[in-house]
Structure 1
Amino acid sequence: MTDAPLPARTDRRGMALYGLLGFAAGLPFYMFSTVLTLRLQAHGVALAVIGFFAWVQLLPTLKFVWAPLLDRYDIPGFGRFWGRRRGWIMLASLGIFTAMVAMALTASDASLAVTALFAVLLAFWTTTLEVAADAWRIELYPTQDEQGPIVAANLWGYRTAMVAAGSGALLVADSGGWTAAYLLIAVAAFLPFPLLAAMRPDAAHGGGRGVALATGLAASAAILLAAAVATAAVGWVVLGVAVRAGIDANSNVTPYVLALCMLPFLAMAAALPRIRRAAPDSALRTSTVLGPYVDFFWRYGFAALILMAFVSIYRMGDVLALNLSKPMIKGLGYSLTQIGRADSVVALAASMIGVGLGGWLATRWRMTWLLALGALVAGLGNFAFVWLAQQRVDELLLYVATAADQFGNGFAGTVFVVYLSLLVNPRYPGAQYAFLTGFAFLLPRLLAGAGGTMVNAIGYDGFFVMSGALSFAAVLFLPALARISPRKDDR
């Protein structure tokens, strides 16, 4: 069952809804990325191993694997009463809460395998919430003019939550410990659930709210347990393979990561000729699992390779900087409290200005110019860390560097979301958007996992110069992107 549409597009109700959904997705993100790296650093974990934890963020790049399930199936109880999209969001909210409580109870990091397990579960349920929310957004707001304000509202909520989680968790951790910090954010992350449960039911449903809620909670418990068991089993296998391959904190994994990054492009190039010849009724194009992804390559042909290369590099600088910027700043002599203050009002204000400007310009500028400006300001934000490292320890200077980074991140992120949304076929909004956003961060997050070994080789200055230059490099793709248009549907 799909959700009933909102009564009006881009109205205050729609913006408030997507602000809430952005807030719900943004709260957990720092807790399995930036905050987790500082927590591991505080417990004496080697920098290379901290870099490996960036691979937890690979999970969102794989969301295309389970995204079709969100387009096809309802969550028992939740889906029938509140609709498919909201039902999945409610399940994901429960998953986020339970995973974060588990991270709080294991905050000593006595077992890095256990820490990784709960971090992966937190990333999985956060990603699931985003898939459901993005699919609903594309269904409700299909044009560039409609997307701009809604994306801005969504990212305002998302970045407000990231700042609340990042700065709030660090301030609490500095005084009350990591367990208290994770429990606080877990409670805050759960707040959207009762708000969603209080929403009106789907127009097609006439059953009772209590029965639907009880059924949904029982089904959710079973799903959460199954996900935890499956994740633990996969993790056990992966760790066993890594041990047998001799990978440890002293391993230089960068060459292997770069080789792995080439495999998706080679696979796409090999499959494209067959996809382009596929008839409307071919099994490739009608498959529930493969059809949405085949459709993207059928519509764009070999230009899809240019698109995929561009989306892989556009946010690379920001992703590379995310995990290691805070350990670098901590190493310069700043305290968790100082970092927390910089990540509060300063980061929030700069990010909101960047998001708002990006959303506003999306209704007025051509997309090519917007993408170019986004790449430039994102690169300058990375260079701000190089500048900071050359200065004396001064909290005001930390505010300047943080503001530059967050403004560029907010602006580029907004423009990128609008662009990817416009590439999607409205027939497959959830699956195709999940595929595009997942692939966009696959290469950056693979490389981010090797970030610790890169820093060991070239230093923090070299690392952030490289990440900023990669953001600038995205501009080279724009003349080709301006000439790409999709093939007309033959069905």
Structure 2
Amino acid sequence: MLPLGFSSGLPFLLVFSTLSAWLREAGISRTEIGMLSWVALAYSLKFLWAPIVDRYDVPILAQLLGRRRGWMVLAQLTTAIGLVGIAMSDPATSLGLTIASALLVAFASATQDVVIDGWRIDATSTDRQGMMAASLQLGYRLSLICAGAGALYMAEFVNWRSAYLAMAGLMSVGLIAALIAPRVDLVPAAKRLSFGGAIVEPLTDLFRRKGMILVPILLLVACFRLPDFVAGVMANPLYIDLGFSKADIANVSKLYGVWIGIAGAFAGGIALTRIGLWWTLLIGAVVAASSNLMFAWLANEGARLDLLVLSISIDNFASGFAGSALVAYMSGLTAPGFAATQYALLSSLYALPGKLIGGSSGAVVDAYGYPVLFTATAAIGIPLVVLCFIVRRDTMKTEHERDAADAAAPVEAATRA
């Protein structure tokens, strides 16, 4: 699970913030960079083709490796080919090839995420899913260091082409993991939901259990990480425009910042056990949005390394804390019979508005400047707090029901034995 988590996280920054730094250095306008971030919409729309991945075999590969591992290998090889395509392009002279290659990477990488999640759920029992998820997250975070700091270091001291070729080579980590992973095709095709049912039935279950409170719940999920996604598109262009070197950005944002984000995620996990889900969710909504004010301050002050470190520290810690809260909240919304599909739908939903609105962030900066953008994203925290209070009763009720179910589970297991 650890190397598969690494393979899952590696491509994301390479079509998002790392690519935006290359584009800005190549002279691409901030408006165009913002719009190009829409290639990452594949990660938000993956639920549309997830039933195909879950239901159909890859010719030849499925016979050799099984359905899950066959899709993994195909997705990983396609991702590597897309990264080579980006490496061979030059945004200043062949932007079309860069965009097409980035689209291929995003689509293949999102497909890889779908199949890795399916393999993770099938591979082991429910009581070990916490360990699997922790391994996935650790591998994902380590890959962010490579795709963020590692790629920027190589671009600074060698060139961008070498950086992306090296990242394509690192996809071999996931490829090896897929080849040695156990074969776990547990559900025969005849028992799988139809393509339409795979999407409709989990949604129907959510509406049946939650009723009209589902509307503010979905709004909260959709907007919870909106400040991060919108601000994230313009973070690297801000650093470049202020005059920070790629080495500075790699050291502070992509290396130091990742570990601060891990610390924030652990802090969120501790808060969940100490003060409960709702309070952790509320605190996460406030700190994640308000931390963007640090970037507005940085934009006004200029290339101060001390202020960059402080901004990255506060923002990444807040982002990690809020991420733990949101994962726990979305997990609590799922039902046992539809847990994997409902979680895929919710995780797609939480990223979709940020990706859509993030595409216009460059135009906002060009028209009004960086401080206005980051202040506006911080203001999103106000409606988030309102939504947290609206769903408060349902959240606490769900938490109590889960606690009761967990307490009853050992008794039920002993009775069946």
TM-score normalised by length of structure 1 = 0.73
Structure 2 distance, partners of 1:379, 1:71, is: 36
Residue 407 of structure 1, aligned match among 297, 314, 317: 317
Helix, strand or coil: the match of 2:237?
helix
Whichever residue aligns with residue 356 of structure 2, its letter is: L
Equivalences, count: 391
User: What does residue 27 of structure 1 align with?
Assistant: 10
Preserved CA contact (<8 Å) 2:122 2:185: no
How many angstroms does 1:482 deviate by? 2.8
User: What does residue 404 of structure 2 align with?
Assistant: none
Whichever residue aligns with residue 442 of structure 1, its letter is: L
User: What does residue 48 of structure 2 align with?
Assistant: 65
Which runs of no fewer than 5 residues in structure 1 stay unpaired?
1-16, 205-282
Structure 1 distance, partners of 2:185, 2:222, is: 40
Whichever residue aligns with residue 197 of structure 2, its letter is: S
Structure 2 distance, partners of 1:151, 1:363, is: 17
Where do 1:237-252 residues align within 5 Å?
none
User: What does residue 240 of structure 1 align with?
Assistant: none
Where do 1:330-341 residues align within 5 Å?
330-341=240-251
How many angstroms does 1:140 deviate by? 6.6
Whichever residue aligns with residue 121 of structure 1, its letter is: L
Preserved CA contact (<8 Å) 2:75 2:112: yes
Where do 1:41-52 residues align within 5 Å?
41-52=24-35
How many angstroms does 1:284 deviate by? 11
User: What does residue 166 of structure 2 align with?
Assistant: 184
Structure 1 distance, partners of 2:77, 2:116, is: 15
Which runs of no fewer than 5 residues in structure 2 stay unpaired?
187-192, 402-417
User: What does residue 165 of structure 1 align with?
Assistant: 147
Structure 1 distance, partners of 2:382, 2:162, is: 40
How many angstroms does 1:148 deviate by? 5.6
Where do 1:97-112 residues align within 5 Å?
97-112=80-95
User: What does residue 259 of structure 1 align with?
Assistant: none
User: What does residue 328 of structure 1 align with?
Assistant: 238
How many angstroms does 1:173 deviate by? 0.9
Whichever residue aligns with residue 25 of structure 1, its letter is: S
How many angstroms does 1:331 deviate by? 0.9
Helix, strand or coil: the match of 2:176?
helix
User: What does residue 212 of structure 1 align with?
Assistant: none
Whichever residue aligns with residue 118 of structure 1, its letter is: S
Q: Identity of paired residues, percent?
A: 33
Structure 2 distance, partners of 1:481, 1:152, is: 28
Tell me the alpha carbon deviations over residues 156-186 of structure 1, each in whole angstroms, 9 at most, x when there is no partner: 3212211221111111112221111101111
User: What does residue 199 of structure 1 align with?
Assistant: 181
Q: 1:59 to 1:471 in 2, by over 3 A?
A: farther
Preserved CA contact (<8 Å) 1:52 1:449: yes
Q: 1:381 to 1:148 in 2, by over 3 A?
A: farther
How many angstroms does 1:411 deviate by? 1.8
Helix, strand or coil: the match of 1:334?
coil
Q: 1:449 to 1:202 in 2, by over 3 A?
A: closer
How many angstroms does 1:314 deviate by? 0.3
TM-score normalised by length of structure 2 = 0.85
Q: Greater helix percent: which structure?
A: 2
Preserved CA contact (<8 Å) 1:109 1:115: no
Preserved CA contact (<8 Å) 1:316 1:471: no
Q: 1:306 to 1:75 in 2, by over 3 A?
A: same
Where do 1:234-313 residues align within 5 Å?
287-288=197-198, 290-313=200-223
Helix, strand or coil: the match of 1:120?
helix
Tell me the alpha carbon deviations over residues 222-278 of structure 1, each in whole angstroms, 9 at most, x when there is no partner: xxxxxxxxxxxxxxxxxxxxxxxxxxxxxxxxxxxxxxxxxxxxxxxxxxxxxxxxx
User: What does residue 118 of structure 1 align with?
Assistant: 101
Structure 2 distance, partners of 1:466, 1:168, is: 31
Whichever residue aligns with residue 264 of structure 2, its letter is: G
